[in-house]
Amino acid sequence: MTIIVDQPQFENENGRHEEVTKNRAETELVLDGGFCIPHANSFGHNFRDYDVESERQQGVENFYRVNHINQTFDFVKKMRSEYEKLDKIEMSIWECCELLNQVVDESDPDLDEPQIEHLLQTAEAIRKDYPDQDWLHLTALIHDLGKVLLHPSFGELPQWAVVGDTFPVGCAFDESIVHKKYFLQNPDYNNSSYNTKYGVYSQNCGLDNVMMSWGHDDYMYLVAKENGTTLPSAGLFIIRYHSFYALHRSGAYKHLMNEEDVENLKWLQIFNKYDLYSKSKVRVDVEKVKPYYESLINKYFPAKLRW
């Protein structure tokens, strides 16, 4: 993995796993496991810069416009009840990884590679630094599999209903959400049941009880849970909230968390560094690593899952 420069937010973070070492004449940021954080994405810009002029900027902004207008409380309720039926298809985890070969994510300013590359890049990077946490390697491999909702056999949902950052619906949209101005056109924005700090929720009710904007995270969480995975709760937490940057990066919505969420958030924050900064043009040799991931899939999942 290559090396880049200052991402200052790392320097203030504490805690064992968050520790960052500055190396080689202050040019390189290295996580305590050894992972080097690149200073720029494949397009030469900072990661997650949604405003910088780039070949992806306009498409990404338009993506968020449509996403923010349409992700309402009612929409999420409808999608959850449709997709929790898990009556679309039966397939293994690895078959799903292969389907993702055809999927490119339009919401992502940092990556335009097929998604299977991203899954393996994330998993291999985290495996290197946390060799004993096999559940974390598998969580990384599957965290984005919900993007299969874009595939024709799942009704080919539009990008705005599958990818991008997520946020709670049923309470006020937080200021820290990317391109937040487009929420002004969301019908929930002016609905007094949904536009207050707590909205339909209560203090420390637990994120499990919060409806998140619909997309690949919540869907994959449902698939894993309903198919009886033996992944630990931190793995399921990572899957459901990995796109919830308002929480794990900006610290918003903490008033909805319970104690278990607070514990699990620590793992999500570790995971996020690998999810975000492993994105690159360097390809992983799929056939070489496949046997290892197949063994983890066998350990934590049934051979075939309902999707």
Ligand X SMILES: O[C@H]1[C@H](O)[C@@H](O)[C@H](O)[C@@H](O)[C@H]1O
Q: Which partner in ligand X, Fe ion, none is near 213 (CB below 5 to 8 A by kind)?
A: none
Max Cα–Cα distance, the chain, nearest Å: 55
- Stretch in the footprint of Fe ion (CB under 5 A) among 15-23, 88-96, 152-160, 239-247: 239-247
Binds Fe ion (CB under 5 A): choice among 110, 144, 218, 261: 144
Q: Which is nearer to ligand X, 108 or 261 (CB)?
A: 108
Q: Which is nearer to ligand X, 75 or 304 (CB)?
A: 75
Distance CA 158, CA 193 (A): 28
CB contact at 8 A, 132 and 176: no
With tokens 């390809």, the residue in question is 283
Interacting positions 244-283 with Fe ion (CB under 5 A): 275
Please indicate if the annotation marks 118 as binding a ligand. Answer: yes
Q: Which is nearer to ligand X, 104 or 205 (CB)?
A: 104
- Give the shortest CB-196-to-ligand X separation in angstroms: 25
Distance CA 274, CA 238 (A): 12
Which of 4, 1, 110, 6 shows the shortest CA–CA distance to 48? 110
Q: Which partner in ligand X, Fe ion, none is near 261 (CB below 5 to 8 A by kind)?
A: none
- Give the shortest CB-305-to-ligand X separation in angstroms: 20
Q: Which partner in ligand X, Fe ion, none is near 124 (CB below 5 to 8 A by kind)?
A: none
CB contact at 8 A, 59 and 49: no
Q: Which is nearer to ligand X, 38 or 164 (CB)?
A: 164
Which of 172, 159, 60 shows the shortest CA–CA distance to 109? 60
With tokens 């924050």, the residue in question is 269
Q: Facing residues of 220 across strands?
A: none
CB burial string 193-204: b at 16+ within 10 A, e below: ebbeeebbbeee
- Stretch in the footprint of Fe ion (CB under 5 A) among 43-51, 128-136, 150-158, 238-246: 238-246
Please indicate if the annotation marks 288 as binding a ligand. Answer: no
Residue 91: strand, helix, or coil: strand
What is the amino acid identity at position 34?
A: G
CB contact at 8 A, 292 and 210: no
- Give the shortest CB-215-to-Fe ion separation in angstroms: 8
Q: Which stretches of the chain bind ligand X, using CB under 6 A? A: 105, 107-108, 144, 163-165, 242-243
Distance CA 33, CA 29 (A): 11
CA dihedral of 272, 273, 279, 283, whole degrees rounded to 10:
-100
Q: Which is nearer to ligand X, 48 or 205 (CB)?
A: 48
Please indicate if the annotation marks 144 as binding a ligand. Answer: yes
Please indicate if the annotation marks 48 as binding a ligand. Answer: yes
Please indicate if the annotation marks 164 as binding a ligand. Answer: yes
- Give the shortest CB-259-to-Fe ion separation in angstroms: 26
Please indicate if the annotation marks 275 as binding a ligand. Answer: yes
With tokens 């097929």, the residue in question is 114
Site residues, Fe ion (CB under 5 A): 144, 243, 275
Please state the residue numbers annotated as binding site for Fe cation.
Answer: 118, 143-144, 216, 242, 275
Please state the residue numbers annotated as binding site for substrate.
Answer: 48, 105-107, 147, 164-165, 242-243
Please state the residue numbers annotated as binding site.
Answer: 48, 105-107, 118, 143-144, 147, 164-165, 216, 242-243, 275
